[in-house]
A and B are shown apart, each in its own frame.
Chain A
Amino acid sequence: MNKLNFLSPDKNNLYAYLYSGIGLFSLSILIVFLNSFFSLDLTSFLPGTISYFLPLIIGFMGLHLIRIEYSGIKFLDIINKNINTNKFNALLSLLIIFAVIKSLPPLLSWFIIDANFAGDSKDACSGSGACWAYIKTWFNRFMYGMYPNAEQWRINLSFIALAFLGGVGFFATEKFKKYLTLYYVIIYPIIAFLFIFFFISGGPIFFDFSYGIIAAVISIIIGFFIPSKFKMYYFLIIPITIYILLKYVFFYEELIELGKIQAFEWVETGAWGGLSLTFIVSFFCLIFCFPVGLFLSLGRRSDLPIIKYISIGFIEFWRGVPLITVLFMSSVMFPMFLPEDMFIDKLVRVIIAISLFEAAYVAEVIRGGLQALPRGQYDAAKSLGMGYWKMHIFVILPQALKLVIPGIANTFLALVKDTPLIFVVGLLEIVGMLNLAKTNPEWLGFAMEGYVFASIVFFIICYAMSKYSYNLEQKYKTER
């Protein structure tokens, strides 16, 4: 048996070091644990400063004793490799462990133990914990804003329909997949916008647009069975025919006026709000900014000088200014630029402003992808006799877009995080609704709960998006 040298532990007396080290380490954790969970101070007999630092000293000694390289015990080696490589690392690890143990009890008691879950007024919330009854009472408002309760199914239904429309691509066969890009870039944004916007706002105007959408959908479905020879004539005639039939034969307007088919109640956009507005704004901006950004990026790389410089000017302008001034512009300056009798809805103005703003960022991201493609790809496409559009649609863009998936996902994430800014023009999405609820005299003093709730909601949305984009990136990664 060798002599024990506690300053430099070695393998010869492995178990002696191991037991004493683990003992000291556990003791230090026990002290902190008892102190924070049961406010029990084991070291109170020592003078103040020493008592304060004692767990750190004991734990440090313990970790020093078990720092034995190649001990042959798998668990010990893993611990040493990961948290205990040298003195500095050991100290930092201890600090982190203690900080976690120390901060757990107050967090737990605020979130769960002392929190109030039941009740529907401020009186239910007494005590030091969070008042989740506040969130529960206001939940409907946080989700739907001032939208009338009886009509909220319209918002739900439009999101379901949206998911359904978007899901078309998922179940499409290989044959139709090549048309899907076109569908997602051009047709889907328009249909989705018309549908959601006019469905949620309601009123008689809804019917006009819904006829148009139904006509378009029916004609596209029938269109699959038409021989390609006649397709062009078919798409020129049939949608308009179906539209006219729907409008004047099946549901002619007298029926609506007679009240036999009631139009939806009109809900002005100022009443929309809450989390659903966050989704609506970010969704529309997302689908509009992508095509605009795509064309801008192509314009910036174009050989034609005028188009090139207009694109550069446009992109650099939007990238140089903060979003909040863009929204200011859309709310106070833009109406000055329109004829007096022309009025564009507040929400539409905001959506246009954010879309243009984000389009500039998307354009720069896509340009990065275009620049990363080797010249040979362009040359090869040209040598096959492809024109500009054919080359880009079939050769360049599929590769370039694959490269920029993470960048585009980041831009979209930034977009979602930017939506709360629409408070500038008086639209209240979830953060705006929180600020409104905070000032309600019956519910004063619950700012913390509201912000924590909104943070969790946004964290879930954004984290899920970033993970999804990561998966997408892995899926489309091609060896080059």
Chain B
Amino acid sequence: MNFKKILPQLLTLVVVILVFGFFSYNAQVNMENRGITFGYGFLSQESSFDVQFSLIEYDGSHSYLRAYLVGLLNTILVSVIGIVFATIIGVVVGIARLSSNYLIERTAAIYVEFFRNIPLLLQIFFWYFAALRALPLPEKAEPMFGVFFLTIKGFFVPAFVWNNLDIFIYSVIAAIIAIFFVRAYAKKKQENQGIQTPVLLISIGLLIILPLLSFLLGGVNASIEIPVIEQLSKTSFTYKGGLKLPPELISLALALSLYTATFIAECVRAGVQGVSKGQKEAAASIGLTPNQILKLVVMPQALRIIIPPTTNQYLNLTKNSSLAAAIAYPDLVLVFAGTALMQTGRAIEIVSITMLTYLTLSITISIFMNWYNNKIAIKEK
């Protein structure tokens, strides 16, 4: 046996075990002294605290597990909103940075340099405490397009009221599955016979027709509920009906998407610049149209460079959404690692569950990304 290889490993292992042993021994002693027993049984107890904003039904009589779910869903909600907007802004700004127009290029560059050099927390505070506080009170708000009300108490938008929502959702899912089949069929047809099928048109048609059918035949109907002002007391007004987006959610989503968009813009720019000019020229010389060049030659190569760092940014955005705790948006960290921890005093269990949740989220996405990367990697001989 090679002594030089065994010894350092053994030493590391011993040190790690000792450190863990030391910590867990102390934790045991400390918990015994405080009369706490370790365990996750408290999750089913009644939580008896309220949450400002939740996607599922929740009040104090529900369990801690339910509170955890509320927090998790709120985290996912703000992350999804942030990711959508960050991607849109990021792609636009990234392309603007490549523009031949000096003014556009500079504007995009100033935006990127400015927003990514200011801490995210400061931006969240700025939107929440300074910018959104300048909005009008509910009774003084001017409607936008007659139905949107942007007030200091939140953004009130019209909501859909559905009948038989499930049938509508099934029809959309059916449309998406059908599109996949059409694509596979079109690809096979092109490979075997060289005939191209207008996939895009068929897809759009499917997406419109199937949900429409569900309206006509499936008994689905939707009406729009417009927020109406209501007086709570002499000086306090609010809007009833419709959907209310709380200012915490707006400022958090705004800050997250503006901040992350700068990084996505840089990824997009690097990706498009990474496709060599020769590729475009070669494609043009074999007679492809500019649209085909973009679709078949430039984008596949650019996406290969763009997607991995962009996914990283999505992950960062999700993790950064935990800054919600600073402005009291009820996300996972605030609801669970904040309020629930204060009430139960179970630091180890709650912090470990919170960390494990984020860890699972990141590891799942990175495993998926590794798989995707391997799939699209250029296979050289």
Contact = CB atoms under 8 A, between A and B. Distances in A.
Chains A and B are bound partners: yes
B129 interface: yes
A307 B119 contact: no
Given A82-B101, A322-B320, A455-B122, A96 B354 contact: no
Q: Which of A83, A337, A438, A463 has the most CB of B within 10 A?
A: A337
A336 B348 contact: yes
A96 B104 CA distance: 8
Interface of B: 5, 8-9, 12-13, 16, 22-24, 26-27, 29-31, 33, 99-104, 107, 113-114, 117-122, 125-126, 129-131, 133, 319-320, 322-323, 325-326, 333, 337, 341, 347-348, 351-352, 354-355, 358-359, 361-363
A310 B103 contact: no
Contacts of A479: none
Contact of B26 (A329, A338, A459, A462): A338
B120 A417 contact: yes
Interface stretch (A35-43, A65-73, A197-205, A418-426): A418-426
B333 A423 contact: no
Chief secondary structure at chain A's binding surface: helix
B133 A447 contact: yes
Contact of B9 (A304, A340, A424, A458): A304
Q: Which of B22, B351, B361, B363 has the most CB of A within 10 A?
A: B351
Given A319-B362, A423-B326, A451-B122, A97 B103 contact: yes
A476 to B, nearest CB: 21
A81 B5 CA distance: 64
A304 B8 contact: yes
A328 B333 contact: yes
A463 B110 CA distance: 12
Contact of B103 (A96, A324, A419, A462): A96
Contacts of B358: 320-322, 325
Given A304-B9, A459-B117, A340 B30 contact: yes
Interface in A401-423: 413, 416-421, 423
Nearest to A92: B104
B355 A304 contact: no
B13 A306 contact: yes
Interface string A417-447: 1111101100000010011001000000001
A434 B320 CA distance: 21
Contact of A459 (B114, B352, B354): B114
Contact of A328 (B22, B319, B337, B359): B337
A167 interface: no
Given A451-B126, A466-B117, A85 B359 contact: no
**Best-surrounded residue of B12, B100, B122, B354 (most CB of chain A within 10 A):** B122
A310 B102 CA distance: 50
A463 B114 CA distance: 9
A340 B33 contact: yes
Contact of A83 (B30, B101, B320, B341): B101
Interface string A322-340: 1111001100110011111
A93 interface: yes
Contacts of B13: 306, 310
B16 to A, nearest CB: 6
Contact of A92 (B31, B103, B354): B103
A325 B333 contact: yes
Nearest to B127: A451
A316 B120 CA distance: 23
Contacts of B319: 321-323
A336 B23 CA distance: 8
A432 B112 CA distance: 25
Contacts of B102: 82-83
Interface string A446-475: 011001001100110011001000000000
A420 B122 contact: yes
A325 B355 contact: yes
Contacts of B131: 448
Contact of B101 (A93, A325, A416, A418): A93
B122 A325 contact: no
7 contacts: A82-B101, A83-B103, A307-B8, A417-B120, A420-B119, A448-B131, A459-B117
A420 B122 CA distance: 8
Contact of A321 (B119, B122, B359): B359
A418 B119 contact: yes
B363 A320 contact: yes
Given A420-B121, A421-B323, 17 more contacts: A81-B100, A85-B100, A310-B12, A310-B13, A320-B358, A320-B361, A324-B323, A328-B337, A328-B351, A329-B351, A332-B351, A337-B22, A338-B26, A417-B117, A423-B121, A431-B121, A454-B122
Interface of A: 81-83, 85, 89, 92-93, 96-97, 303-307, 310, 316-317, 319-325, 328-329, 332-333, 336-340, 413, 416-421, 423-424, 431, 434-435, 438, 447-448, 451, 454-455, 458-459, 462-463, 466
A323 B323 CA distance: 9
B168 to A, nearest CB: 36
Q: Which has the most chain B C-beta neighbours within 10 Å: A316, A324, A333, A435?
A: A324
Contacts of B351: 325, 328-329, 332-333
A336 B101 contact: no
A452 B41 CA distance: 47
A332 B114 CA distance: 35
A455 B118 contact: yes
Given A431-B125, A458-B122, A305 B9 contact: yes
A88 to B, nearest CB: 9
A421 to B, nearest CB: 6
Contacts of B120: 417
Contacts of B117: 413, 417, 458-459, 462-463, 466
A167 to B, nearest CB: 25
B322 A332 contact: no
A431 B123 CA distance: 10
Contacts of A305: 9
A458 B27 contact: no
Contact of A320 (B33, B129, B325, B359): B359
A320 B30 CA distance: 28
Return the 7 tightest CB-CB contacts between A and B, nearest first.
A462-B117, A82-B102, A322-B319, A320-B362, A320-B359, A337-B23, A417-B119
Contacts of A455: 118, 122, 126
Nearest to A305: B9
A274 to B, nearest CB: 14
Given A92-B104, A304-B5, A333 B347 contact: yes
Contacts of A89: 99-101, 104
Nearest to B23: A337
B101 A85 contact: yes
Nearest to A332: B347
A338 to B, nearest CB: 6
A303 B5 CA distance: 9
Contacts of B354: 325, 328
Contacts of A454: 122
Most buried by A among B16, B24, B119: B119
A306 B12 contact: yes
B351 to A, nearest CB: 5
Given A322-B322, A328-B351, A451-B129, A340 B29 contact: yes
Contacts of A419: 119
B78 to A, nearest CB: 13
Contacts of B12: 306-307, 310
A221 B157 CA distance: 71
Contact of B27 (A336, A435, A451): A336
A96 B109 CA distance: 14
A451 B130 contact: yes
A421 B100 CA distance: 40
